[in-house]
Amino acid sequence: MKSLRIAIDGPAASGKSTIARRVAEKLGFTYVDTGAMYRALALKAFREGVDIADTDSLRESIVEKTDFAIIDGELAMDCRPISNEIRSEKVSVLSSRIARIPDVRSFMIEEQRKLAKDGRVVMEGRDIGTVVLPDAEIKIFLTASASERARRRTLQLRSMGQCADEAEVLRDIRQRDLNDSSRSLAPLRSADDAITIDTTNMTLDEIIEIVVEKVQEN
């Protein structure tokens, strides 16, 4: 089976997860949500009372005792499916902080490369095309206005039964954009050879069609 890796990057709430999952389903590929990996790790640290500012404790108590895998087509951590609890705004903020820690990023990059090795995968995140899989056959960078992304994230949170204020979500998204794009380690940016798609005024089906067409052209 020919290996074919599709890297989908973009800022928070740009539609990466939904689009990547749908594209993977349409093509029969494995879907890997790397953002979920950071969120799950952040949630694990929070539950176990580990201060993420204490990098030694974080590495010894969490990072070195964590394993990611694809089980029955779904991403799992420590042999357990990753739950919707990772989608809370508190976990979002923690994951943005934890993603800036060098030991965490080094660990995650290796884990993500293992998941993509010799396979047909759609992997999404913030540095897939630039750092994790710089030689991916297809690279997509999704973006949208901050206000539109806040609207989408608010609807997503409310659909999961969470109380979400759109103005507060917008502030969080803008802060995450700043954190992700200004960090010294693997900042958020589009790969030079990526296809950029502004999804602000596009339907989900339109975006998926564009991505699938690019894969079929490869």
pLDDT, residue 180, reads 84
**CATH number of the domain within which 94 lies:** 3.40.50.300
pLDDT confidence band for 119 (50 / 70 / 90): confident
| Rounded-to-integer distance, Cα 63 and Cα 56, Å | 10
Give pLDDT tens digits for 71-111.
988 899 999 999 888 988 789 889 888 988 999 999 999 99
Q: Is there a domain that residue 63 lies in?
A: yes
Instruction: Tell me how far CA of residue 50 lies from CA of 5, 54, 57, 60, 199, in angstroms.
Output: 35, 8, 7, 10, 37
pLDDT, residue 187, reads 86
Task: Count up the domains in the chain and report the number.
Answer: 1
With beta carbons less than 8 A apart as the criterion, state whether 111 and 68 touch.
Answer: yes
pLDDT confidence band for 130 (50 / 70 / 90): very high
77-105 CB burial, b ≥16 within 10 A, e <16:
beeeebeeebbbbebbebbbebbbbeebb
Q: Is there a domain that residue 112 lies in?
A: yes
pLDDT average, residue stretch 170-199: 90
| Rounded-to-integer distance, Cα 139 and Cα 124, Å | 10
The percentage of the chain sitting over the pLDDT mark of 70, rounded to a whole number, equals: 100
Q: Is there a domain that residue 77 lies in?
A: yes
Which residues are paired to 120 by β-bridges?
Answer: 4
Which residues are paired to 76 by β-bridges?
Answer: 69, 81
pLDDT, residue 79, reads 95
Q: Is there a domain that residue 73 lies in?
A: yes
Q: Is there a domain that residue 209 lies in?
A: yes
Q: Residue 60: is its pLDDT beyond 70?
A: yes
pLDDT average, residue stretch 123-141: 95
With beta carbons less than 8 A apart as the criterion, state whether 28 and 46 touch.
Answer: no
Predicted TM-score (pTM) of the model is: 0.87
Q: Is there a domain that residue 218 lies in?
A: no
Residue 7: strand, helix, or coil: strand
pLDDT average, residue stretch 10-25: 92
Q: Is there a domain that residue 12 lies in?
A: yes
pLDDT, residue 88, reads 82
Q: What is the largest CA-CA distance in the chain?
A: 48
Q: Which two tokens stand for residue 181?
A: 């794009």
What range does the domain containing 160 cover? Answer: 4-213
pLDDT confidence band for 127 (50 / 70 / 90): very high
